[in-house]
Structure 1
Amino acid sequence: MTKVIGTLLALMVTFPIFATISIYYMIKWTTGNKKRALHRSITYTTIFYILSVMMMLQTLFGSGYLGLIIILLLFGLMTTVIVQWKLTETIIFKRAWKIFWRATFLIFFLGHFILGTVGIIITMING
């Protein structure tokens, strides 16, 4: 059983788009609401995109980037909180987290596909 769970987690990190699509359809099937299914599937699978980008960076460039990714994520959250504070003069952390997490999804979603393309190009050049 643990081998199956490990394999599923490895597949979700390797191909996070399939995890996003699968979770989207499961939530859409249970709730019947497309918008809620999209938002929840993005919320639940953002971590897989972060891990995927981290692994792709390590594979392509040979170094660990966990520290840099954590610093960038903390900087992004800090920026979101400061912008919310400047705009509304109050900080609603739940709202700031939601905005930050969705922006993180967009950044790492794009990063996943850009790094995938770079990996294919490097493989083609190196033979």
Structure 2
Amino acid sequence: MTFTFLLIAALPFLFFVFTYMLFQKWTTTKKRAWRGAIHLSALIFVLAVHLLLKALFGNGYIGWSIVMLLSLMALSCIIQYKTREELESGKIFKGFLRLSFLTFAFTHALLVVYGLMNYVFFSA
């Protein structure tokens, strides 16, 4: 369990750093590299949060993850409509990827801290 937890905890951040370095070599600006790495890493963080929830609490919260993703998509649509008064699918999807990256990366970090604290204080 400990090795699996550490592997799930470390891989998404390493994947993000690796894709950022690759995009930095391919693109001309750091801004494009940052956004490309965020877009690719969003799915990895969603899967990692699901696996961490399953490892920590014994249940797979895939239903709640899907509800969260749908809520983030709706929020992205609302933000797009309020700022531009029209919906463009490409911009909605990019906004959705950025929101899901922020949400799930933050959740991933919280779950890693919780798992480490749980291991340190409550393991025999």
User: With structure 2 as the length reference, what TM-score do the two structures score?
Assistant: 0.85
Question: Runs (4+) of structure 1 moved beyond 6 Å?
Answer: none
2:57 aligns with one of 43, 51, 61: 61
Is 1:12–1:48's contact at 8 Å kept on the other side of the alignment? no
- Written as runs of structure 1 = structure 2, the 5 A alignment for 1:69-84 is 69-84=65-80
Partner deviation per Cα, 1:63-88 (whole Å, 9 max, x = no partner): 11111101110121112213322443
Structure 2 stretches lacking a partner, 5+ long: 1-6
Does residue 1:48 correspond to 2:44, yes or no?
yes
Q: Tell me the percent identity.
A: 29
Distance (Å, rounded) in 2 between the aligned partners of 1:94 and 1:101 = 11
- The Cα of 1:90 is off from its aligned counterpart by 1.2
Structure 1 stretches lacking a partner, 5+ long: 1-10
Does residue 1:24 correspond to 2:20, yes or no?
yes
Tell me the residue number matched to 1:113: 109
**In the alignment, residue 101 of structure 1 is paired with which amino acid?**
L
Give the secondary structure class of the aligned counterpart of 2:97.
helix
CA distance 1:113–1:13, change in 2 (3 Å): closer
User: With structure 1 as the length reference, what TM-score do the two structures score?
Assistant: 0.83
Distance (Å, rounded) in 1 between the aligned partners of 2:89 and 2:116 = 40
CA RMSD of aligned residues (A): 1.8
Distance (Å, rounded) in 2 between the aligned partners of 1:81 and 1:30 = 30
Which structure carries more relative contact order (alpha carbon 8 Å, separation 6+)?
2
CA distance 1:59–1:12, change in 2 (3 Å): closer
The number of residues matched between the two structures is 117
